[in-house]
Amino acid sequence: MRPPPATPASRHRTASEQVGAALLDAAQAVLDREGLAAVSVRAVAIEAGVAPMGVYNRFQNKDGLLVALAVRAFDALHAAVDVEHSGEAPGDPLQRLRQSCRAYRTFALRHPEQYHLMFSGVSSLASPSPAAKHGTAVLQVLVDTIDSATRQGILHAAEPVEAAQMVWNAIHGAVTLELASLNVTLKRHGFEPADTYDKMLDVLIDGLRRP
């Protein structure tokens, strides 16, 4: 492996952290290029140009690799969805909710294999794995936004956690059916998935406005 460039960030990383990050980069490259089934200690070692023992030392086994990859993917999805902390978030919580949900879809369509890893029910990622906590943080963005809208009297979500779960169900269902190309009826009728997705958000928001 080449030494990383001496950017301010990398100067503060220990050598061990740099090795870990490089192996994770290699694992993500295998995942993005060849899919979940192709991720193995051997494939990641070849991709990173190290001996398999180097991967075992860092991640123990394939499950350890998958958990580390899922943590990174959940954190990336979280950063995408958390528009409130992106610096350009609108003050209106309903606009933030729409932006977060659109960012969710964009992330899933751009990173289908990472999305598949996070949500396909890989047993090593199930609660109480380290990855589950990072997944929960994504949902919490929706909870906080809906809670904020309810406090301002714009929505009437008696239970923001429950309302956020409903929104999550809808956006997760939309992107998984779209990724699996199972939205054929919609497309055959000439609808654009992105438009229908936006209208779905409007329907959910209208439904959550009612006392």
Residue 26 or 141 having the CB closest to a second copy: 141
Polymer length in residues for the chain: 211
User: Is cis: bond before 128, omega within 30 of 0?
Assistant: yes
- N- to C-terminal Cα separation, the chain: 59
Does 170 sit near a second copy (CB under 8 A)? yes
Neighbours of 140 (CB within 10 A): 16
Chosen residue from 61, 151, 173, 194 binding a second copy by CB under 8 A:
173
Cα(113)–Cα(98) distance, rounded to whole angstroms?
A: 24
Shortest distance, position 18 Cβ to a second copy, whole Å: 32
Show the site string, 70-109: x = touches a second copy by CB under 8 A, - = not. Answer: ----------------------------------------
Joined together, the tokens standing for residue 110 give 């751009």
Show the site string, 104-143: x = touches a second copy by CB under 8 A, - = not. Answer: ---------------xxx----xx----x--xx--xx--x
Cα(131)–Cα(192) distance, rounded to whole angstroms?
A: 33
Shortest distance, position 181 Cβ to a second copy, whole Å: 5
- Single-letter amino acid, residue 133: K
Residue 87 or 128 having the CB closest to a second copy: 128
Does 203 sit near a second copy (CB under 8 A)? yes
Does 205 sit near a second copy (CB under 8 A)? yes
By the 10 Å C-beta count (0-12 exposed, 13-18 middle, 19+ buried), 109 is classed as: middle
3-state DSSP helix/strand/coil percent for the chain, to nearest 5?
75, 0, 25
Question: Among 7-15, 54-62, 93-101, 177-185, which window interacts with a second copy (CB under 8 A)?
Answer: 177-185
Residue 46 or 186 having the CB closest to a second copy: 186
Contact, 135 vs 161, CB < 8 A? no
**Rule CB under 8 A: which residues touch a second copy?**
119-121, 126-127, 132, 135-136, 139-140, 143, 159, 161-163, 165-166, 168-174, 176-177, 179-186, 189, 191, 196, 199-200, 202-208, 210
